[in-house]
Amino acid sequence: MPPITIVFVITGLAVFVNALAFLGVGADTPENGKSPLVTVGWITLVAGVVDLVQAAYILAARPAPIGDPASVPLAGLVTFYGAFFVALGIALVAGLDLRPIGNLAVAVAIVPLAWWPFFEGGWMFRSILVVWLVAFLAVTATVYGRLPGRALGGTLMVTSLYTFLAPAALLALGLSIP
């Protein structure tokens, strides 16, 4: 399996637990207990760090099947999302104001569309870029009170399953991503 599979799995799981938190599943703080968002934050932070490590590996090793020169833009895209998940994870763990994360999500929604030509011929990857656009703009809208948390939770659940875990399953089965 290519190293991008690790990115798909770990990030998909982080988005999954974030989705569940916004859907209200296991999101209530127990009496005299810690907020489950701290745990979600740690999972998100670990996913971001793993993404950044994988991006560095992709740049250094230039593994098959991507190889040269495609590994550079792929590593750049992975770095983009890894940095976002590190920032979100830290904010959740530390209980920080999420408005800067919402602001960051606008850039993370829009700028990756520049990778559109990189995914020429890959309908699934291109559709993933569109889903990410919607998901990250939904993060911003939720942080600023324009979208209910449950709507973001549903958006993140679709994002987790379609854009991260489905491609990971395809790669794990030895299939290519269409």
Closest CA to 12 of 177, 173, 169: 169
d(CA 93, CA 47): 14
Higher pLDDT: 32 or 54? It is 54
Q: Give the pLDDT mean for 108-123.
A: 93
| d(C-alpha 99, C-alpha 114), whole Å | 25
| Eight-class DSSP state of 32 | T
Cα of 136 vs its chain's centroid, Å: 9
Average pLDDT over residues 69-88: 91
Distance CA 133, CA 107 (A): 9
First to last CA, the chain: 16
pLDDT of residue 169: 96
**What domains can you pick out in the chain, each with its CATH number?**
4-172 (1.25.40.600)
Backbone angles phi, psi at 120, to 5 degrees: -55, 130
Rounded distance, CA 155 to CA 116, Å? 21
> Cα–Cα–Cα angle for 29, 16, 56, nearest 5°?
115
pTM reported for the whole predicted model: 0.93
Mean pLDDT, to the nearest integer, of 151-175?
96
| Tokens of residue 152, six digits | 């973001």
- Cβ atoms of 178 and 40 closer than 8 Å: no
> Would you state the pLDDT for residue 68?
67
Residue 66 has pLDDT above 80, yes or no: no
| 138 token code pair | 């939904």
Which of 133, 151, 134 has its CA nearest to residue 142? Answer: 151
